[in-house]
């Protein structure tokens, strides 16, 4: 596959640069066309990598033929290609949606969106922790600016909290990396997995401190309790199309937990094996519970959707702490489903708020929407999927996760918490649907209808749920194989170090 591994990073970077230069910088039509074209090419490159990895291949790209642990390596395996494909598809949908008019509500939407995709894809593909930090910073800098897109004082205040928290998180990340590098002498993930099991004496305690510092950082990025407080306000105040794209952002933190606490601090880590699991399990359960409370207390649809993100993060972190192939496979299926459905709900909230006038998407009586069948039908599909009701994709994800949890001792905690949270989501979404589509303060609907491009993007996202059910066999086979590959630490280490030591494959 050669240099193809680099394309999910290079194409968004090139698209961002071109969108800033003439004639794109001056002409809206050309800027949109270039942005859409590069988003499409990025998706194609990601899908080619996904198809290649489906045969259980791990592709390693050593930048400049510098071997690990000194050089930069990109690792394209089933997990990373699945997530970059999901990111690229979501970015393509958001760019098309914003091209209707949202991109002109502020400056540099398209360049920033491509820089964000570059950072997210880079985080999924990198094979060492220092470059994970670098790509985290790339996506965070782009996200800071995107939060201010079409901003006012309210958005600026929310964005400021987000920026301050993430700057603190970046500082802790650097300290954690410094501690781990001082102890292990490397930040290459595969090399760390080898050396962490050879530690003795005080080095074990130092490595544990470094690993726990990283856990704080990843917990902040993923928004697990008690580091979740920034998320509902930040996501609900952002422009909905940006909040929809941010549905993948918390998954970067979850992905980092999967990589670090399965490969580096997994079962082969000696005295440091499973060092995070005892922390992650109770935090995951509490995150699901606090997310459910937030959903029930939400006053508008965007805040409700933001709290759904917290529940999904708690669910995924619970799967990480189960540390089994089945749980990981179920979590990967759930990642695809939850990311796409939450993005669809944010976009639906946008159209609903515009058509309801002054009351926006607040859960109070207001003006009826002008397109009740499209928006109401879309809301019903998304709500059923998020609740985990048949025949939508959420049902398969929920059942699979419950089955996976039955293999561990914590079933008696996870099942009631997760099922009660699902019931709370059902109540909250039913209440929201009742206010938004049935209870009106008058019968006069606005004449303003949504642009066809926007409704088509939402329909495309919603169609993914039944398609995930129809093709659940191949998708679950892929996620199961990806989970087996992730948990096969020996194969990962041997492949990355062997290929790196002999140049790019």
Give per-residue pLDDT as tens, 362-398.
988 888 888 999 999 999 999 999 998 888 888 998 9
Classify 63 in phi/psi space as left (phi over 0), alpha (psi -120 to 50) or beta: beta
Q: Is the pLDDT of residue 501 over 70?
A: no
The CA distance from 87 to 253, in Å, is 14
Distance of alpha carbon 139 from alpha carbon 128, whole angstroms? 17
Omega cis (within 30) before 23? yes
Segment 260-271 mean pLDDT = 89
* Chain center to CA of 387: 19
Residue 505: band (very low, low, confident or very high) from pLDDT cuts 50, 70, 90: very low
* 13-17, 105-109, 498-502: range with highest mean pLDDT: 13-17
- Dist. CA 493–CA 505, nearest whole Å: 15
d(CA 105, CA 102): 5
Q: Would you say residue 161 has pLDDT above 90? A: no
Q: Is the pTM of this model over 0.75?
A: yes
């Amino acid at each position: 596959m050669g240099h193809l591994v680099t394309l999910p990073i290079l194409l968004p970077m090139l698209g961002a640069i071109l969108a800033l230069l003439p004639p794109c910088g001056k002409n809206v039509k050309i800027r949109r066309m270039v942005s859409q074209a590069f988003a499409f090419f990025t998706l194609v490159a990601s899908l080619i990598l996904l198809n290649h990895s489906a045969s259980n291949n791990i592709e390693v790209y050593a930048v400049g033929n510098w071997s690990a642990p000194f050089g930069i390596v990109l690792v394209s395996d089933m997990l990373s290609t699945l997530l970059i494909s999901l990111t690229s598809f979501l970015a393509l949908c958001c760019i098309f949606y914003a091209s209707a008019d949202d991109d002109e509500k502020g400056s540099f939407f398209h360049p920033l969106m491509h820089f964000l995709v570059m950072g997210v894809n880079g985080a999924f593909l990198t094979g060492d922790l220092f470059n994970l930090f670098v790509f985290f910073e790339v996506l965070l800098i782009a996200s800071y600016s995107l939060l201010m897109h079409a901003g006012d004082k309210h958005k600026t205040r929310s964005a400021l909290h987000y920026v301050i928290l993430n700057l603190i998180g970046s500082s802790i990340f650097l300290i954690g990396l410094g501690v781990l590098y001082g102890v292990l002498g490397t930040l290459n993930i595969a090399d760390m997995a080898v050396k962490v099991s050879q530690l003795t004496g005080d080095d074990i305690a130092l490595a544990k401190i470094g690993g726990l510092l990283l856990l704080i950082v990843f917990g902040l990025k993923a928004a697990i309790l008690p580091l979740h407080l920034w998320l509902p306000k930040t996501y609900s105040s952002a422009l909905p199309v940006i909040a929809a794209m941010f549905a993948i952002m918390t998954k970067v933190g979850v992905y980092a937990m999967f990589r670090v606490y399965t490969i580096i601090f997994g079962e082969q880590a000696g005295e440091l094996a499973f060092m995070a699991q005892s922390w992650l399990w109770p935090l995951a359960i509490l995150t699901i519970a606090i997310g459910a409370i937030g959903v029930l207390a939400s006053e508008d649809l965007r805040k409700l959707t933001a709290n759904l993100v917290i529940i999904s993060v708690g669910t995924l972190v619970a799967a990480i702490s189960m540390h089994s192939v089945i749980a990981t496979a179920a979590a990967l299926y759930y990642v695809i489903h939850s990311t796409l459905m939450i993005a669809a709900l944010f976009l639906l909230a946008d159209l609903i708020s515009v058509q309801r006038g002054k009351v926006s998407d607040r859960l109070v009586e207001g003006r009826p929407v002008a397109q009740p069948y499209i928006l109401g039908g879309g809301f019903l599909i998304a709500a059923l999927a998020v609740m985990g009701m048949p025949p939508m994709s959420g049902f398969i994800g929920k059942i699979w996760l419950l089955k996976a949890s039955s293999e561990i001792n914590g079933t008696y905690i996870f099942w009631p918490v997760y099922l009660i949270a699902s019931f709370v989501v059902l109540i909250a979404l039913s209440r929201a649907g009742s206010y938004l589509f049935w209870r009106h303060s008058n019968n006069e609907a606005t004449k303003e209808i949504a642009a066809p491009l926007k409704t088509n993007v939402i329909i495309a996202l919603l169609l993914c749920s039944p398609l995930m059910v129809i093709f659940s066999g191949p998708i679950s086979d892929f996620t199961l194989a990806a989970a087996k590959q992730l948990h096969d630490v020996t194969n990962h280490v041997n492949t990355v170090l062997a290929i790196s030591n002999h140049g790019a494959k």
